[in-house]
Amino acid sequence: MKRRILIADDEINIRNGLAAAVESEGYEAVTAENGLSAWNLIQTQGADLLITDLRMPLMTGSELLEKVYASYPTLPVVVLTGHGSIEDAVKAMQNGAVDFLTKPVNLDHLFVLIKKTLRGRDIEEKNLELQRELDSLKKKSTYSSIIGKSKKVQDLLETISQVAATKASVLITGESGVGKELVADAIVNFSDRKDKPFVKVHCAALNSNLLESELFGHVKGAFTGAVADKKGRFEQADGGTIFLDEIGEIDKSTQIKLLRVLQEHEFEKVGGEKTIKTDVRVIAATNRDLEQEIKNGNFREDLYYRLNVVNLKVPPLRDRKEDIFLLATHFLNQFCEENNKKIEGFSNNALSAVNNYDWPGNIRELRNCIESAVVMCRGTVIDINDLPPAVSRAANAGDIVIPLGSTMDEAEKKIILGTLNYCKGNKSKTADVLKLGRKTVLRKLAEYEQ
Ligand SMILES: Nc1ncnc2c1ncn2[C@@H]1O[C@H](COP(=O)(O)OP(=O)(O)OP(=O)(O)O)[C@@H](O)[C@H]1O
Ligand SMILES: [Mg+2]
């Protein structure tokens, strides 16, 4: 859709001249001969950019600016000033104009200014659209805080809702930081054990003796320090669900006890003789390859099959790139609120970096990245410089960006260095891609080094 530019000036020649110029650049032009008629047009037709003269009958540009700023704060306004009235321009900028142009208008300046201003508007709209998408996604997902529109995540949610109703054990697998714990939460929320106890045990955090007593409890005197009877986590979870995180880390003797709980639904406390019956649904998670651990003799095969009745694989973030912007926007909202900051969204460059980066630490890494960006950010938009270096380096990995106003030499340098980077420093390949002689490339590179 064409962007609409509203031009308000009482001099017909300027008005029509500017309208013809912007139309020749592919925009839609609408004109007004004074501030009042411009104000009516904004209210009835809307505009993406307002270019206005200051001295006009009926309503001056300053009055118009004031009204626009109060009612349409996101509509960018550029003011036109006559020669020698720079104070007016400065005043207009203080009142919210994004820039000014002096008459007679230099058309090249005008076009650069329009592009720059509308780019800001594109960013704004893109971020607004992300917010809207995020809101509607959140409305739909009552039982889970898993965010994602990718087919992979939607399929995962579908499976979660199917398995939630059963009592079957679930093994959640996936790389670190993909959201395994969130999946466990969602299973419980979807299930009819939702209001029953939900106990989480981080198996890697405890050594094997402690883990055994943590899971199954102990009786007084079972070991030094066991001064009283203690209920284990399985007993606490009775009637509900237990989440065994990092299940791949538990040792062989605990594995045997766990197998018995899964098979017979019973266990004894450490040092105890009484058999305790339990009704607990087990959800386990690991980022290890348990089949490999079985081959290496570290994990019991029978336990594996008991745990793995249902297997939920949570895909890494790099395999569901469609979710990245939504997640980034979600974390942006969260950390803005926590830090009492007002940031509207991301610049195009920042989005491109976030999109190109590989996210080896998955969603946890993305979350940390956005948290630090929010803290670093001084403006109203997260820019590429606010991102951690590893991420910002990924910007434009597939693009060469040549800013408006660059000279041919600067553009050429960007193209050659960008391609060299893309070819991982291989100069012959760079010459091939650019269809240049190798010697030319070498000469240019030597020039850039000076
Ligand atoms: N789809 C998602 N939507 C929103 N937040 C998510 C999503 N997936 C993960 N997160 C967030 O990312 C962080 C990491 O998720 P989680 O702790 O569940 O990962 P994990 O797979 O258990 O990692 P690890 O293997 O390291 O324990 C958490 O803060 C979690 O809330
Ligand atoms: Mg985890």
Judged by its nearest atom, the ligand closest to the C-alpha of residue 175 is 1
Q: Quote the CA–CA distance of 211 and 319 in Å, as a whole number.
A: 35
Confidence of residue 83 (pLDDT cuts 50, 70, 90): low
Judged by its nearest atom, the ligand closest to the C-alpha of residue 331 is 1
Answer for the pair 58, 81: CB distance below 8 angstroms, yes or no.
no
**Could you say which of 315, 343, 362 is where a domain stops?**
315
Judged by its nearest atom, the ligand closest to the C-alpha of residue 313 is 1
Whether residue 161 sits in one domain with residue 300: yes
Whether residue 182 sits in one domain with residue 278: yes
Q: Is the pLDDT of residue 383 over 70?
A: yes
Whether residue 300 sits in one domain with residue 179: yes
Whether residue 382 sits in one domain with residue 412: no
Using the mean position of ligand 1's atoms as its centre, give its distance from the Cα of residue 336 in Å.
19
Using the mean position of ligand 1's atoms as its centre, give its distance from the Cα of residue 383 in Å.
25
3 state SS of 4: strand
Whether residue 333 sits in one domain with residue 188: no
Whether residue 268 sits in one domain with residue 194: yes
Closest Cα to atom 25, ligand 1: which residue? 176
| Residues above pLDDT 70, as percent of the chain | 98
- Give the nearest ligand 1 atom to 174 CA: 21
Question: Any idea what DSSP says for residue 333?
Answer: H
CATH of residue 35: 3.40.50.2300
Strand ranges for 215-360 from DSSP E: 217-218, 230-231, 241-245, 266-268, 275-277, 281-286, 310-313, 345-346
Instruction: Assess if residue 230 is contained within a domain.
Output: yes
Instruction: Assess if residue 141 is contained within a domain.
Output: no
CA-closest candidate to residue 258, choices 306, 219, 298: 306
The CB density around residue 237, as the number of other CB atoms within 10 Å, is 24
Using the mean position of ligand 1's atoms as its centre, give its distance from the Cα of residue 365 in Å.
9
Whether residue 210 sits in one domain with residue 305: yes
Q: What is the CA radius of gyration of the chain?
A: 31
- Give the nearest ligand 1 atom to 286 CA: 25
Q: Quote the CA–CA distance of 176 and 29 in Å, as a whole number.
A: 53
User: What is the enclosing helix (H) or strand (E) of 17?
Assistant: helix 12-24
Domain that holds residue 368: 318-392
Q: How many domains are there within the chain?
A: 4
Using the mean position of ligand 1's atoms as its centre, give its distance from the Cα of residue 145 in Å.
10
Ligand 1 pocket mutation, candidates 137, 175, 181, criterion most atoms within 8 A of CB: 181
Q: Quote the CA–CA distance of 433 and 422 in Å, as a whole number.
A: 10
Using the mean position of ligand 1's atoms as its centre, give its distance from the Cα of residue 179 in Å.
3
Answer for the pair 32, 26: CB distance below 8 angstroms, yes or no.
no
Whether residue 421 sits in one domain with residue 375: no
- Chain segment 102-124, per-residue pLDDT in tens: 888 888 888 888 988 887 777 87
Using the mean position of ligand 1's atoms as its centre, give its distance from the Cα of residue 136 in Å.
21
pTM of the full predicted structure? 0.73
Whether residue 233 sits in one domain with residue 156: yes
Whether residue 325 sits in one domain with residue 311: no
3 state SS of 158: helix
pLDDT at 259: 95
Using the mean position of ligand 1's atoms as its centre, give its distance from the Cα of residue 36 in Å.
54
Whether residue 197 sits in one domain with residue 83: no
Q: Quote the CA–CA distance of 249 and 260 in Å, as a whole number.
A: 18
- Chain segment 284-334, per-residue pLDDT in tens: 999 999 999 999 999 999 999 999 999 999 999 999 999 999 999 999 999
Q: Which of 51-65, 202-216, 303-317 has the highest mean pLDDT?
A: 303-317
CATH of residue 249: 3.40.50.300
pLDDT at 288: 93
Instruction: Assess if residue 164 is contained within a domain.
Output: yes
CATH of residue 373: 1.10.8.60
- Chain segment 1-44, per-residue pLDDT in tens: 789 999 999 999 999 999 999 999 999 999 999 999 999 999 99
Instruction: Assess if residue 120 is contained within a domain.
Output: yes
CB of 35 closer than 6 angstroms to any ligand 1 atom: no
Instruction: Assess if residue 133 is contained within a domain.
Output: no
Ligand 1 pocket mutation, candidates 189, 363, 367, criterion most atoms within 8 A of CB: 363
- Give the nearest ligand 1 atom to 323 CA: 1
Whether residue 354 sits in one domain with residue 244: no
Judged by its nearest atom, the ligand closest to the C-alpha of residue 174 is 1
